[in-house]
């Protein structure tokens, strides 16, 4: 996300997405989602980046919940942000974080 905190991201901002073949390209942000009643502990991915336990991350060509990839419990946050990328391509339903991880931006089953 080019060093921009998700909490500072606005509709229309351009973010990197990663296609299934590893190609990265820019797509606009369609929505910024704020969950201001979050009560669960977050997972610390390192570098000050936190993620919810169930947020799916790209890993070896598939998607795993963050709790399967990171094991350091962070702290509780009152609010949690997420973004929705404006695309109709399933393999672009994600965004690239500063740490290089790629979280999915639609609810995974």
Q: In whole angstroms, what is the distance from residue 10 CA to residue 109 CA?
A: 27
pLDDT tens by residue, 69-100: 998 888 888 888 899 999 999 999 999 998 89
4 pLDDT tier (thresholds 50, 70, 90): low
Mean pLDDT of the chain: 88
Going by C-beta distance under 8 Å and a sequence separation of 6 or more, which residues neighbour residue 68?
A: 59
How many degrees, rounded to 5, is the angle at CA 33 between CA 7 and CA 79?
60
3 pLDDT tier (thresholds 50, 70, 90): low
Q: How high is the pLDDT of residue 2?
A: 56
Tokens standing for residue 97: 């974080």
Q: How high is the pLDDT of residue 73?
A: 87
Q: What is the pTM of this model?
A: 0.86
pLDDT tens by residue, 30-47: 999 888 888 888 999 988
Torsion of CA 76, 10, 57, 61, to 10 degrees: -170
- Choose between 108 and 24: higher pLDDT: 24
Per domain, the residue ranges of the chain are 6-92
């Amino acid at each position: 996300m080019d060093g921009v905190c998700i909490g500072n991201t606005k509709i229309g901002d351009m973010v990197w997405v990663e296609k299934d073949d590893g190609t990265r390209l820019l797509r606009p942000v369609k929505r910024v989602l704020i969950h201001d009643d979050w009560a669960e502990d977050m997972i610390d991915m390192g570098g000050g980046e936190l993620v919810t336990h169930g947020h799916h991350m790209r890993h070896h060509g598939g998607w795993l919940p963050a709790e399967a990839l990171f094991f350091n419990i962070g702290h509780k946050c009152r609010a949690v942000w997420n973004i929705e990328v404006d695309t109709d391509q399933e393999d672009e339903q994600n965004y690239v974080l500063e740490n290089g991880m790629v979280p999915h931006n639609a609810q995974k089953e």
